[in-house]
């Protein structure tokens, strides 16, 4: 690869030439181990989901007689997982849209506007992410009972927004600080209003940062369990994580592992697609806090 295009990737080839033979083997073995470590459990979940009740307890590494019976069990019968998927989509998407709107406004203020106590405020917002979720679950439950929010989407969307805000504001503020604000000023001199200047000049430039942050918020909302397990009761609002954990088996004493694995695959699939599409972005967002 590098030998054929040495001019295009000089530093890469130099670094590569420095690797002694044994080191190349160690790195290669390390990569294989790393990929196995990360993916083997996923593979096993997928394979198990394709095994029928007679085969599921065998440790065969591939299904002898692949069947979709587990998937039928997931979406049919007492489980009705389709509702849970719908609920999770509604909850995660509305959380992402609302949290991003709120976080963009705050981050603009924190990164761009001059006012007293701005750093203190950012630190305070960050400190909010330190509170244990369990510390707020009971008072929240009482509050939502009074408001008749139990078993409604907003009982999960509003807490999800608040949990997402500290990270979203932090990452967005970091992105906004590096924007070329002179351009915004130039637009204002040319007659744009403050909102117009922001929307036409800064937002397009900040789009990668906004997209990255939205992904992190979406993942967090899709994966939330604690609050949902307390405030959702029926199929009308239960998200996938809670539904999966209390899956019903054929009998009371038998855990329906086949269906659970199939549901796990269903829950994981959209995440796999997002990761494959946006891996570079997600890594950027995750490391935004650690090396700036």
Minimum CB separation of residue 6 from other proteins in Å reads 14
Task: Tell me: does residue 136 bind other proteins (CB under 8 A).
Answer: yes
Tokens 């009972």, located at residue: 145
Pair of tokens at residue 157: 């969307």
Which of 38, 146, 148, 234 touches other proteins by CB under 8 A?
Answer: 38
**Sheet strands (E) in the chain:** none
Identify residues 47-86 at the interface with other proteins (CB under 8 A). Answer: 48, 57, 59
Minimum CB separation of residue 83 from other proteins in Å reads 17
- Asked if 262 and 76 count as a contact pair (C-beta separation under 8 A), the reply is no
Identify residues 196-215 at the interface with other proteins (CB under 8 A). Answer: none
Task: Tell me: does residue 290 bind other proteins (CB under 8 A).
Answer: yes
Task: Tell me: does residue 242 bind other proteins (CB under 8 A).
Answer: yes
Which of 83, 219, 237, 262 touches other proteins by CB under 8 A?
Answer: 219
Pair of tokens at residue 122: 């950012």
- Binding window for other proteins (CB under 8 A); candidates: 73-81, 163-171, 184-192, 203-211: 163-171
Rounded Cα distance between 104 and 212, Å, is 13
291 burial level (CB within 10 Å; 0-12, 13-18, 19+)? exposed
Question: In terms of CB distance, is 169 or 202 closer to other proteins?
Answer: 169
Minimum CB separation of residue 162 from other proteins in Å reads 4
- Binding window for other proteins (CB under 8 A); candidates: 9-17, 64-72, 74-82, 200-208: 9-17
Which of 25, 177, 180, 248 touches other proteins by CB under 8 A?
Answer: 177
Closest CA to 173 of 214, 209, 134: 209
Task: Tell me: does residue 25 bind other proteins (CB under 8 A).
Answer: no
Pair of tokens at residue 167: 């990270």
- Binding window for other proteins (CB under 8 A); candidates: 23-31, 68-76, 77-85, 205-213: 23-31
Which of 97, 150, 158, 205 touches other proteins by CB under 8 A?
Answer: 158
Give how far the C-alpha of residue 143 lies from the chain's centroid of Cα atoms, to the nearest Å.
Answer: 27
Rounded Cα distance between 174 and 31, Å, is 32
Task: Tell me: does residue 292 bind other proteins (CB under 8 A).
Answer: yes
- Asked if 251 and 274 count as a contact pair (C-beta separation under 8 A), the reply is no
Give how far the C-alpha of residue 47 lies from the chain's centroid of Cα atoms, to the nearest Å.
Answer: 24
- Binding window for other proteins (CB under 8 A); candidates: 68-76, 185-193, 200-208, 281-289: 281-289
Identify residues 95-134 at the interface with other proteins (CB under 8 A). Answer: 101-103, 105-106, 108-110, 113-115, 118-119, 121-123, 125-126, 128, 130-134
Task: Tell me: does residue 180 bind other proteins (CB under 8 A).
Answer: no
Tokens 């007492």, located at residue: 78
- Asked if 151 and 234 count as a contact pair (C-beta separation under 8 A), the reply is yes
Minimum CB separation of residue 27 from other proteins in Å reads 5
Pair of tokens at residue 91: 């909850």
Which of 50, 84, 169, 197 touches other proteins by CB under 8 A?
Answer: 169
Rounded Cα distance between 252 and 264, Å, is 20
- Asked if 262 and 49 count as a contact pair (C-beta separation under 8 A), the reply is yes
Pair of tokens at residue 239: 């998200």
């Amino acid at each position: 690869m590098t030998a054929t295009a040495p001019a295009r990737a000089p530093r890469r080839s130099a670094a590569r030439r420095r690797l002694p033979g044994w080191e190349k083997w160690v790195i290669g073995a390390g990569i294989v181990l790393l990929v196995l470590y990360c993916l083997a459990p996923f593979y096993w979940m997928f394979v198990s989901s394709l095994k029928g009740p007679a085969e599921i307890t065998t440790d065969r590494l591939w299904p002898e007689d692949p069947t979709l019976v587990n998937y039928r069990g997931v979406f049919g019968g007492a489980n009705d997982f389709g509702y849970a998927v719908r609920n999770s989509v509604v909850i995660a998407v509305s959380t992402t849209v609302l949290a991003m709107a709120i976080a963009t406004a705050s981050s603009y203020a924190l990164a761009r506007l001059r006012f007293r106590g701005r750093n203190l405020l950012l630190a305070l917002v960050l400190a909010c992410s330190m509170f244990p979720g369990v510390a707020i679950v009971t008072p929240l439950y009482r509050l939502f009972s009074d408001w008749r929010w139990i078993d409604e989407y907003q009982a999960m969307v509003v807490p999800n927004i608040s949990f997402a805000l500290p990270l979203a504001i932090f990452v967005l503020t970091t992105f906004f600080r590096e924007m070329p604000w002179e351009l915004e000023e130039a637009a204002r001199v040319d007659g744009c209003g403050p909102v117009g200047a922001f929307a036409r000049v800064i937002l397009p430039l900040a789009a990668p940062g906004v997209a990255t942050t939205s992904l992190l918020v979406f993942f967090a909302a899709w994966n939330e369990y604690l609050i949902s397990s307390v405030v959702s009761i029926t199929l009308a609002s239960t998200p996938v994580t809670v539904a999966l954990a209390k899956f019903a088996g054929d009998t009371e004493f038998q855990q329906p592992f086949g269906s659970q694995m199939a549901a796990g695959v269903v829950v994981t699939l959209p995440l796999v697609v997002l990761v494959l599409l946006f891996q570079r972005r997600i890594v950027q967002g995750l490391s935004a806090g650690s090396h700036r």
